[in-house]
């Protein structure tokens, strides 16, 4: 039996950490990625790239079977529609797994919440954060 796995995030500028996360999701089963809408991102700077561009870029990655934009008002609507077996959180995402599990229970969604592992740099200068990438570009090009 193939599991249905949900991964989610902003995916503003794709980096090796994103790919590692999505590869881990693919090891578990069929991967649905929910891309956060710009207006719903409140825990860090808003994405630079448009919603649909971020969705299209994520959809083009090999580990991804389906990429969808998040709901404008209720983050659980796509989860209800997908009905996953597992929600895989990124290793450094701000979400509290216990709080998500409780919200899923309240909605009657039977789904396991797991956290992905991080990935260590494989070479000097490898960046794993959109903010770090933007900062590096500004240091090198915005003079």
List, for residues 11-28, the tens digit of each pLDDT value: 999 999 999 999 999 999
pLDDT in tens, 28-65: 999 999 999 999 988 888 999 999 999 999 999 999 99
Q: For residue 84, what pLDDT band results from cuts at 50, 70 and 90?
A: very high
- Is 15 annotated as belonging to a binding site? yes
Q: Is the pLDDT of residue 98 over 80?
A: yes
pTM, entire model: 0.92
- pLDDT value of position 44: 83
- pLDDT value of position 49: 93
- Is 108 annotated as belonging to a binding site? no
| Contact (Cβ atoms closer than 8 angstroms) between residue 11 and residue 54 | yes
- Is 130 annotated as belonging to a binding site? no
For domain 3-141, the CATH architecture is 3-Layer(aba) Sandwich (3.40)
- Is 2 annotated as belonging to a binding site? no
Question: Which residues are CB-neighbours of 52 under 8 A, at least 6 positions away?
Answer: 69
- Is 66 annotated as belonging to a binding site? no
Query: In degrees rounded to 5, what are phi and psi of residue 103?
Result: -65, -40
């Amino acid at each position: 039996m193939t599991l249905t796995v949900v991964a989610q995030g902003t995916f503003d500028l794709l980096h090796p950490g994103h790919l590692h996360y999505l590869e881990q999701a693919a090891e578990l089963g069929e991967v649905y990625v929910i891309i956060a809408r710009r207006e719903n991102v409140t825990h860090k700077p808003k994405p630079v790239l448009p919603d649909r561009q971020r969705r299209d870029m994520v959809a083009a990655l090999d580990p991804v079977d389906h990429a969808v934009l998040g709901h404008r008002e209720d983050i659980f609507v796509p989860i209800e529609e997908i009905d996953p077996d597992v929600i895989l959180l990124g290793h450094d995402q701000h979400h509290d797994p216990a709080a998500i599990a409780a919200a899923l229970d309240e909605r009657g969604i039977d789904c396991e919440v797991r956290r992905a592992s991080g990935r260590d740099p494989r070479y000097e200068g490898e960046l794993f954060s959109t903010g770090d990438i933007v900062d590096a570009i500004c240091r090198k090009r915005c003079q």
